[in-house]
Structure 1
Amino acid sequence: MLDNSIETQNVIGVPVTALPFEAQINWILKWGRAHLSKVVCVANVHMLTEASWDSRLASVLETADLVTPDGMPLVWMLRLLTGAAQDRVAGLDIMLAVCQQAEREGLPVFLRAPIN
């Protein structure tokens, strides 16, 4: 479930995290330091559109701890909604930043992908 202090904006029914790249990385690392298990969804417009008719996907996105804007259309929408400079928070960039910092701090990283 989204932390109340994490700013989100509703984009076609999905709460997308409206924070700069570094702030989102800092949340992930903060959870890791506290040994908390969290869900981070890296979302693009296609995923949000799919969630409009797939209730299971919608539920995952609505209850995720972070839903990052991975795609410029979501970034542009967040900029319009918030008036703030929103970064693209892409999955590959998240992985690199989190793994590099986790290595420096000796934090374990666990990844889970969906299984059909």
Structure 2
Amino acid sequence: MLEPPAQLQPSLTVDGITINVPSLPQAVSSIVSAAQHGDNFSVCTLNLDHVVQLQHHANFRAAYRRARFVTADGFPIVVLSRLMGTRIERTTGADLVEPVCAEARKKGLPVFLLGTNNLTLNVTARRLSERFTGLQIAGCFAPGPGFDPYSSEADAAIEHIRASGARLCFVALGAPRQELFAARCLDELDGTGVLCIGAALDFIAGTQSRAPSIARRTGMEWAWRMLREPRRLGPRYIKCMTIVPRLVARTIPQIVQARMRKAA
């Protein structure tokens, strides 16, 4: 029997959050299409650390529920989708930046870079401009340490984005700040898509190293990162691992229903 088209396959819902974009190409096409239409929207990439935070922070959960597009960042989430028989590919914020910029250049969509620090933003802007000749970098903004998404500094950041005329904004603040800020942008900007991308700008600038491709393909990026920063990331990943059994248990009804529909 032929597999159904991706858009007809059942969506995976993780702790109330639905993964509605199953692959990188579909994420890029959906984001660029929405930007061309002048829509306000946000993009989130769900991983286990986010699932942990969703349990404890109502504002974070509300921000996630307002996201137009949600991809599967964490490899365990991809595994759950496979158990359902749904084809979901791991798509991180770092995966999105360059292909979205490539399409933004073709479609004449200006982009804005927000997060990290001025040095990283300047290097990233230069490298993206070199790789995608003609890409319009509408502006950059580097918040200070301890950035509060509800502060006057956040007000200033939103004003910078608005004045720049950007149609796409890459926000690299880390969770939950970037998602909370993106949710604010939905209410206060007009015609701008906000992509929550974690450390992606640091990877492009070279101020942080991304895991080797083999670690990413095999779902071992977390182990590579933990070995590099055990004190900071060890406790985080331990919390992530403790929620896996509960996620599997909660997903079993979805898996059974999806398998029964395929068998029918």
Distance 2:81 2:91 in 1: 12
| Displacement of 1:79 | 2.1
Q: Is 1:22 aligned to residue 81 of structure 2?
A: no
Query: What is the aligned partner in structure 2 of residue 91 from structure 1?
Result: 93
Q: Percent identity?
A: 24
> What are the equivalent positions in structure 2 for 1:12-51 lying under 5 Å apart?
12-51=15-54
Query: What is the aligned partner in structure 1 of residue 59 from structure 2?
Result: 56
| Displacement of 1:80 | 2.0
Deviations 1:81-110 (A, max 9, x none): 3x1222111111111110111112211222
Which one-letter code corresponds to 1:29 in the other structure?
A: V
**Residue 170 of structure 2 aligns to a residue in which SS?**
coil
Which structure features the higher share of helix residues? 2
**Residue 68 of structure 1 aligns to a residue in which SS?**
strand
TM-score (norm 1): 0.82
Distance 1:43 1:49 in 2: 11
The Cα RMSD (Å) is 2.2
Cα contact 1:14–1:48 (8 A) shared by 2: no
Query: What is the aligned partner in structure 1 of residue 170 from structure 2?
Result: 111
**Residue 39 of structure 1 aligns to a residue in which SS?**
strand
Distance 2:54 2:36 in 1: 31
Cα contact 1:70–1:88 (8 A) shared by 2: yes
Which one-letter code corresponds to 1:80 in the other structure?
A: L
Which one-letter code corresponds to 1:91 in the other structure?
A: G
Cα contact 1:9–1:18 (8 A) shared by 2: no
| Displacement of 1:18 | 4.6
Cα contact 1:12–1:48 (8 A) shared by 2: yes
Unmatched runs of 5 consecutive residues or more in structure 1? none
Cα contact 2:21–2:69 (8 A) shared by 1: no
Query: What is the aligned partner in structure 2 of residue 66 from structure 1?
Result: 69
Query: What is the aligned partner in structure 2 of residue 102 from structure 1?
Result: 104
Distance 1:58 1:8 in 2: 19
| Displacement of 1:66 | 1.1
| Displacement of 1:20 | 2.1
Deviations 1:14-39 (A, max 9, x none): 22225222112111010111111211
Unmatched runs of 5 consecutive residues or more in structure 2? 1-7, 112-168, 182-264
Aligned residues: 110
Cα contact 1:15–1:61 (8 A) shared by 2: no
